[in-house]
Structure 1
Amino acid sequence: MRRFLGSLRGQLVLLIISALVLAQAISLWLFVDERGLAVRAALGAEAAGRAANVARLIEEAPQELQASILRAADSPLVRFDVTSESAVDHLNHVDGGSVEARMRALLGPEDDRPIRVELHKAEGTLTPMSHINPDGNNMHLQVMRGGLLTLEMTVSVGLQDGRWLNVDTRFNRPPLQWPVVSTLSFGITAALLLVAVIWFLLNRLIGPLRRVASAAESFGRGEAPGTLPATGPREVRDLTVAFNNMQDRLTRHIADRTRVLAALGHDLRSPLTALRVHAELVDEDDIRDSMISSIEEMQDMVERTLAFAHGMATSEEAQTVELRAFLEKLQQDMHGGFEIGDIGQIRVRLRPNAMRRALRNLIVNAQRYGGGATVSARGGAETVVIEILDSGPGIPDADMERVFEPFFRLEKSRSRDTGGTGLGLSIARTIARAHGGDVHLENRAEGGLIAALVLPRKGSDQS
């Protein structure tokens, strides 16, 4: 679940569903509020009409019938009473303006009697209405309980004889509801969006993005993913085209540098051969031998440079190999020149010939300067680390990175047997980085050196 929510697809799905829920909740709240206003208006109009009619009846009926009229007008939610004082003791009744206007319309334009309206929220526990019988009170309390928002309205209407008709009514605002139709509508809308918008459009977006990411990973390991098709939305097509252009430019740049390096090495062969011929004509043995040795060293460096350039220019398909079997084959090729330590069942994707060359350079360095080599490997979630351990003197910390520079040698003698050409580590790191990895050196606490060749595990079969 965390992996899904961490993806672009999951985050967009979550965002759209959250937006739908929020929009639906706001719409429902607005609907309920409008519904509540409509109910209030309807009940207020109904109470105003009943109050106006009862006021007329009281004024027109004989004294002995007025009590019967009031009892007949009462209901579980509305109470009518005639008193000498107004139940509304103040004139600031802005909320009741519509009720007063409706009553005056019913009473007639010539009727100018005082009308007072008070509207407020009911607070605390509802008390029974004393004027209603027990059954009516039970019905009233049953209707009003349940945590609903209860509103109370009191209307005082002046009668012609100076008394006041007081009308008390209670009604509740409808609660927040989620009707079945709204739920079904929300579900259908969400499903259509997820199918029609999310899965269809995101597949057009995520598919090309994944291809670009996979191609970038392959290109970083030195593989040639080829030209990607420009599909999907315009922005994704632009990204794909930019990646294809970058891949072409980098490939041409590396090829041009490799060709220049190879041509330079090739062109140096002729003057070195001529120098060798001239050196053979020198009479003094010491001078002749010294010149020939220097020329041979230069020829060896040129040959290694040519081999390095050839290796960079050679296109080799990557393969997924079982690492122990791969190292055992290299051990046979080197006639048992190193020991194989602890290696689990690790599979890694690499270019076999190039990787054999990189490992051979690291192992030869360990044999030459560290008195022997032991190769082990460990696999992590993201990388595979191949370690070459020796028991030599190690390398000063200040030179840990300098030894990777081409032609740099810690051994300052001119002997190729002890100092080499200074290209071995440079070639090994170049090959490792072409795989998307690297080579690091570290001195061991017990003495010796660790050369760690790190390869990315992405794209490999993990076990």
Structure 2
Amino acid sequence: MRKRLDSLRVQLLLLIIGSLLVAQTISLWLFVDERGLAVRAAIGAEAAGRAANVALLLERAPPDLHASILRAADSPLARFRIDPQAAVDHLDHRAKGAVEARIRSLLGAEDSREIRVELHEVERAFPPMKMMPPQMVAEHKQMMHDKISGLELTLSIALAGGTWLNVDTRFQRPPLQWPVFSAVSFGLTAALLIGVACWYLLARLTWPLRRLAQAADSLGRGEEREPLPVAGPSEVRDLTDTFNRMQERLMRTVADKTRIMAALGHDLRSPLTALRVHAEMVEEEETRDALVKSIEEMQDMVERTLAFARGMAISEPPETVELGKFLTELKRDMVDAFQLETDAPLQIRLRPNSMRRALRNIVDNAVRYGEGVEVTYTREYDRALILVRDHGPGIPDTQLEEVFEPFFRVETSRSRETGGTGLGLSIARTILRSHGGDITLRNHPDGGLLVRLDLPFSQSFNHQERTRS
């Protein structure tokens, strides 16, 4: 799961989806606020219209009808009354302009009476109106079962004779409603944007990068590959083209160095053979033996150089083999037997001949300097481990790394029969590193030397394993 979240494609998709959600949330919040403002303006205009009409009606009707007019104008959330004082005693209110303009437009442009407006938020029960009919009182109690969290608008309109028409009206904030159409449109937009456009664009971006990563892994294992096709965005095309040039230069450099070493070792054979012939013609025995011995040492060094050059060669094509079967065949082909403990089948990609040569060198060293050689293999995460242990004297800790140097021998004699050539471990490490792996040595706590070889699985095989799991 964590590897999927680390994917560039998944992270970009999550970023796009998150951005869409944030944008949709902001738009919904703005929509709800605009809806509240629209409802507030509509209710304020309606209350202002009713108040202006009642004020005109009261001024034109006889005083004995005023009480009936006020009762008729009352509602569960609106109260009209005539008082000697204005209910609004201060004038600085945010809704005064719009409401007052609405009232004056209904009263007439020439009307200059004083109009006061007050608007504020409330959260408390609204008592029933005085002289409210029983059915309206019951309706009011049903509506006021819970406290209202809304707005209260108070109007004070000056009447003829020095009295004031005071109007108290309250209205609840509009409930938050989920906009179904907006949600559906968001879902369709996200599906089209992500499923079609983004997925195609991200695939066009990530597939060349994935292919480039596989090619880099293959190059690290020494596999020769054709140049990658240049595709994708301009940055990815530049990266692919740069990788192709780098791969060509590296392969050419390695091939040139290997060819030079092989040619040098080969060309030295002829003059050394001629020197050997001339040395054999020396009559003095002591001088002849010294010359022949020096020439033999030089020929030995040439052969070692050629062997090391062959160990660096990486022209063999890689193959996918089953590791247990590969080690079983190696055991059968070797003269000096070793104990092999097989494990679950492991498919691994390697160059069989080169890897067989590396393992032969390691096992031969273990047989030469130790006894009871044991070979085991297992899987550790995305790598295959091969462990070779002997029960010999081991190697001093200070020389565990030096033994990989060319021509270095722990055995200090100059005899090839007892000390070997000093190139076996060096060639083995070169082969392992050309596969993208490595070799490490350590002395086992119970005695003997433990050689650890680790090899990476091929990326294609890893991908298949993850798909099955």
- For residues 56-455 of structure 1, the aligned pairs below 5 Å read 56-130=56-130, 132-140=132-140, 149-455=149-455
Aligned identity (percent) is: 61
Other structure's SS at 2:95 match: helix
Q: Note the C-alpha offset of 1:288.
A: 3.6
Other structure's SS at 1:207 match: helix
| Preserved contact between residue 99 and residue 117 of structure 2 (Cα < 8 Å) | yes
Give the structure 1 partner of residue 53 of structure 2.
53
2:28 and 2:154 map into 1 onto residues whose CA distance is: 30
Q: Note the C-alpha offset of 1:70.
A: 0.7
- Unmatched 5+ stretches in structure 1: none
Q: Note the C-alpha offset of 1:257.
A: 1.2
Deviates more, 1:275-284 or 1:348-357: 275-284
1:381 and 1:345 map into 2 onto residues whose CA distance is: 15
- For residues 7-18 of structure 1, the aligned pairs below 5 Å read 7-18=7-18
Deviates more, 1:137-146 or 1:203-212: 137-146
| Preserved contact between residue 358 and residue 432 of structure 1 (Cα < 8 Å) | yes
| Preserved contact between residue 358 and residue 431 of structure 1 (Cα < 8 Å) | yes
Evaluate the alpha carbon distance shift between residue 33 and residue 107 of structure 1 in structure 2; reply closer, same or farther with a 3 A threshold.
Answer: same
- Unmatched 5+ stretches in structure 2: none
Paired residues, what number?
A: 463
Q: Deviations over 1:254-279 (max 9, x none)?
A: 11111121122122222322332233
| Preserved contact between residue 48 and residue 99 of structure 2 (Cα < 8 Å) | yes
Q: CA RMSD in A?
A: 2.3
Q: Note the C-alpha offset of 1:151.
A: 0.8
1:319 and 1:83 map into 2 onto residues whose CA distance is: 103
Other structure's SS at 1:191 match: helix
Other structure's SS at 1:122 match: strand
| Preserved contact between residue 93 and residue 116 of structure 1 (Cα < 8 Å) | no
Q: Note the C-alpha offset of 1:125.
A: 4.2
Q: Deviations over 1:357-399 (max 9, x none)?
A: 1001111111222235221111122111111111122122222
Q: Deviations over 1:234-273 (max 9, x none)?
A: 1221121111111111111111111121122122222322
Other structure's SS at 1:21 match: helix
Evaluate the alpha carbon distance shift between residue 453 and residue 162 of structure 1 in structure 2; reply closer, same or farther with a 3 A threshold.
Answer: same
Give the structure 2 partner of residue 38 of structure 1.
38
**Which amino acid counterpart does residue 259 of structure 2 have in structure 1?**
R
1:341 and 1:403 map into 2 onto residues whose CA distance is: 27
| Preserved contact between residue 144 and residue 172 of structure 1 (Cα < 8 Å) | no
| Preserved contact between residue 32 and residue 175 of structure 1 (Cα < 8 Å) | no
**Which amino acid counterpart does residue 5 of structure 2 have in structure 1?**
L
Q: Note the C-alpha offset of 1:285.
A: 4.1
| Preserved contact between residue 117 and residue 156 of structure 1 (Cα < 8 Å) | yes
2:99 and 2:430 map into 1 onto residues whose CA distance is: 89
Q: Deviations over 1:206-233 (max 9, x none)?
A: 2211111111111111112211111111
2:41 and 2:329 map into 1 onto residues whose CA distance is: 92
TM-score, normalised with respect to structure 2: 0.92
| Preserved contact between residue 79 and residue 131 of structure 1 (Cα < 8 Å) | no
Q: Note the C-alpha offset of 1:138.
A: 4.7
Deviates more, 1:173-182 or 1:394-403: 173-182
TM-score, normalised with respect to structure 1: 0.93
